[in-house]
Structure formats: C-alpha cells, structure tokens
Amino acid sequence: MTPQREIDTGLEGFRLWPGALDSDAQAALLRDLRTAVATSPFYRPVTPGGRPFSVRMTNLGPLGWVSDRDGYRYQPTHPVTGEAWPPIPPVLLDLWRDLTGWPDPPDACLVNLYRDQARMGLHQDRDEADLNAPVLSVSLGDTAIFRIGPAAGGPTRSVRLASGDVCALTGPARLARHGIDRLLPGSSTLLERGGRINLTLRRAGP
C-alpha cells in the first residue's frame, strides 16, 4: 500500500504523503484503534515536573512511551492497568515498511488524542536507543497545524496535517523540533466527537 504522491516539504528529511490513507482505510484503522483502547485506555500523563499533558495517550506494540514524575521512558506495560500494550495493526506496519524502508519493524506506537485546546509544544524525539531509525506519523480526524524546525534551532514552519496524511522524520530531520500548535475544529467527520488522533511509530529498543 505505497502512496503515489510524496510532496517536497522544503526541509531535508521531513517527508510528507498527503492522503496516504483513503477514507475506507482511515475508518478501518479507527476500528482497530477502538478495539485496542478497550483494553488499553487513553490516560492523561504528567511531565516529570508534575504538570498534566493537554493530550491523552496510550500505546501499541511491545513498548510504549510514558511520562511521569520519574521521567520519560519506554516500558512494556500500561502505567494505569499494568497490562501489556495491544499489538500494532498490520496497516501501520505496512506503512512503515513501504515508506521508510527501515530493515527492522517498529516496536512502539504512541497514540495521542487531541480534543478541544490540546496541543503539543516543540520537542525532539530522542528517547529511542537508535536515533538513526525514522519516526513515522499518521493523522486521523481534524486537521492539525504542525510546526517543525531544524534540530539545531532557527526558524520553524507550519504544515497542515489532515486526516489520512502520513509524515516521517528521517535523516537530517530525525531530531527536528516539532509540535502541534492547534487543531482546526470541524475539518473532519471521522471522529464522532471531533478532535484528532496521531499515531507515531518508532524503533524504541536497540
């Protein structure tokens, strides 16, 4: 399932495939996610300083990214239920294989739920063992204003990520600073209550 159209983002290593998942594929992925969330519910983590995130989170795969007063890390179990994370759906594994070409499959998929005024400040994904492995991100639901800039600092730019869009941080952009400024409410009807779900595939372990 290789999308036909990749656009030039103007930032080396930041790759974007608009509409990589059509409406049927988005609905199927959402059904898979609802099944997973039934046993691995969204929860609201806190920063090491104790401040709650504005997004709610869960994970899929052998490892899941968590944040609490003990810091940022990957672990094999849900911090609330104590249960193992559900498996990563095959459609996401296929996207990783077809778009990144990375030889090893992802072992973690962070799932963020954005509603209302939820956002994500500029940050870098650097808790993984191998920072050369790509990060692949899938958007479902309302369009997000995604902000990205070079790892070393400097000007950032905004990109709209709509439902079904897929992007990747690779090569020089692997450690790019990135975040979500805001959502465009009502821009998608995929989620019954509105909002956005972002699924981020990573190689967390060595």
pTM of the complete model: 0.95
pLDDT digits (tens, 9 = 90+) for 51-99: 999 999 999 999 999 999 999 999 999 999 999 999 999 999 999 999 9
Determine, yes or no, domain membership for 141.
Answer: yes
Rounded Cα distance between 17 and 2, Å, is 10
Tell me whether residue 75 is exposed, middle or buried, using C-beta atoms within 10 angstroms of its C-beta: 0 to 12, 13 to 18, 19 or more: middle
Contact 179, 149 (CB under 8 A): no
DSSP class of residue 43 equals: B
**173 three-class SS:** helix
Provide the residue range defining the domain that includes 142.
14-202
Q: Does residue 8 form part of some domain?
A: no
Q: Within a domain: residue 5?
A: no
Contact 22, 8 (CB under 8 A): no
User: Is residue 1 one of the residues assigned to a domain?
Assistant: no
Q: In what order do the strands lie in the sheet with 135-141?
A: 14-17, 166-169, 135-141, 196-202, 108-114, 56-60
Report yes or no on 198 lying in a domain: yes
> How many domains does the chain contain in total?
1
Q: Is residue 7 part of a domain?
A: no
Residue 91 lies in a domain: yes
CATH of the domain at 28: 2.60.120.590
Per-residue pLDDT reduced to its tens digit, 103-142: 999 999 999 999 999 999 999 999 999 999 999 999 999 9
Provide the CB-side half-sphere exposure for 31 (13 A, CA). Answer: 8
Residue 126 structure tokens: 């650097």
Q: Determine, yes or no, domain membership for 83.
A: yes
